[in-house]
Amino acid sequence: MILKGNQRGGGQQMAAHLMNSFDNERVEIADLRGAIADDLSGAFAEWAAEARGTKCQKFLYSLSLNPDQAQGHLTREQYLELLERTERSLKLVGQPRAVVFHEKRDEHGVLREHCHAVWSRIDTDKMKAVHIAHDRLKLRSVARDFARDHGLELPDGMKKDSRRDRFNDRAKQENLGERQQKERTGISKEQRMADIATCWKETGNGAAFVQALEAKGYYLARGDQRAFVVVDLHSEVHSLSRQLSGIAKSKELKERLAGYPLDKLPDVESAQAWAKTGLLGRRRGGVERDIHEFRGARRANRPTIDAGGFDAHEQPSVEAGIAGRNRAVAGDAVHIHHAILVHPSGLVSRFSDIIVLDHSCQMPPSILENKAGGGAMGEQTPVAIRHPSLGGADAPTPAQHHALRLDQPGLGRNRPQQ
């Protein structure tokens, strides 16, 4: 049994997250009290309006309950008992509350049920927010007591009682905000921390460290509450000291970045604008690389194309087709792609739909009639050449061979799309 809670604002974003039916197989609002509206968006809007009468910014307390499915499913009575214990521990008894159940599939495709609870911290009688201190320690105690009373086994992370080990392990875990950042950017917390740690280990001074960060898409900036932050290409803001947790101490970080005083660093908004420019540049560079690769491949085949030949990948298949069934020599007539082309010297173009005539015989395209209406290579009906000067519908006589010339310059360069 794992309990995770935090104080937060952003009621509408929270409502959208809880009602997300795209990532969840089932969404159920099991309880909603202390609001006139019967939906989460309306209820959270009411609680936000009550918070405006106070100075409280994080007027909600959000809790997620994730039982260990390997030890069996919890009943609704057990879920409600756990929520009541949490309310008593956090002094939220009687406060407006919403309870939502989700079912989603894990990495093995098995349905997993978990529960979300959201309380309003605003006590409307006193118009003050309920003070919640040391909530993580209290949730830990609630989980231990519940597991003991119901014969459940705690996960390894909650069995450790050393404060240093517990908080170091928690720093490496994803919280709700970091999971949402992963959904927006596609980059996990582990990957981001590994990238920044690599930049730290592979550099020895501040300038090289900042340059390595920018090469990986992270820009150093001045935070509002923390000393140094980094902004990624998706405009997400991350504490630099937290990203280097366990790698570098705060004193070491300040010593290495001594050449970058906070008053000279850009603020978060400026760094976000610069990050957007970097993202656009990376995308543009990717498109340009694809174009250069395509042009390079075409230049490699350019001499063959100019000579009227095939591309490298076309040559074997086309030659096999011609040798197998598309070429039959009878006298001076050669059949290419089932089109009759006549030439006394044996020069034959591979383009069955191009015939270049002598300047003395101007033949419009309409006189070439393809009775088959076009088909795949090797399945086309022969094209009959009809012109009064060449004997009408009959094939041309040997005396008329001079009217067909296939050795015109540039024939191979005006290549049609096959």
User: Domain map of the chain by residue range?
Assistant: 2-173, 179-274, 318-403
Assess whether pLDDT exceeds 90 at residue 64: yes
Q: Supply the pLDDT for residue 277.
A: 80
pLDDT at 368 over 80: no
C-alpha–C-alpha distance, residues 291 and 71, integer Å = 55
Whether 359 shows a pLDDT value over 70: the answer reads: no
Gyration radius of the chain's alpha carbons: 37
How would you classify residue 313: left for phi > 0, otherwise alpha for psi between -120 and 50, otherwise beta? alpha
Binned at pLDDT 50, 70 and 90, residue 294 comes out as low
pLDDT at 385: 42
Q: How many Cα atoms occupy the beta-carbon half-sphere of 337 within 13 Å?
A: 16
- Mean pLDDT across the stretch 100-119? 91
- Spell 35-54 as b/e; 16+ CB within 10 A means b: beeeebeebbebbbebbeeb
Q: Is the pLDDT of residue 274 over 80?
A: yes
9 CB contacts (<8 Å, ≥6 apart)? 48, 57, 58, 59, 60
Tell me what pLDDT residue 203 has.
92
Q: Would the pTM of this model clear 0.75, i.e. be above it?
A: no
pLDDT at 290 (0 to 100):
56
More confident of the two residues 190 and 62? 62
Q: What is the mean pLDDT of residues 232-239?
A: 87
Please write the tens of the pLDDT for every residue from 371-403: 444 444 444 444 444 444 444 444 455 544 444
Residue indicated by tokens 């049920």: 113
Q: How confident is the model at residue 107 (pLDDT cuts 50, 70, 90)?
A: confident
What per-residue confidence (pLDDT) applies to 370?
42
Burial class (CB in 10 A: 0-12, 13-18, 19+), 80: middle
- Name which residue leads in pLDDT, 246 or 407: 246
Mean pLDDT of the chain: 75
Spatial distance between the Cα atoms of 98 and 60, rounded to a whole number of angstroms? 11
Task: Indicate the pLDDT class of residue 169, thresholds 50, 70 and 90.
Answer: low
Q: Which of 248-252, 291-295, 388-392 has the lowest mean pLDDT?
A: 388-392
| 191 burial type by CB count under 10 A (0-12 exposed, 13-18 middle, 19+ buried) | exposed
Of 226, 199, 231, the residue nearest 213 (C-alpha) = 199
Min mean pLDDT across 140-149, 222-231, 338-347 is at: 338-347
| 65 backbone dihedrals φ, ψ, rounded to 5° | -120, 115
Class of domain 2-173: alpha beta
Model confidence band, residue 73 (pLDDT cutoffs 50, 70, 90) = confident
**pLDDT at res. 322:** 57
Q: Is the pLDDT of residue 49 over 90?
A: yes
pLDDT of residue 407: 42
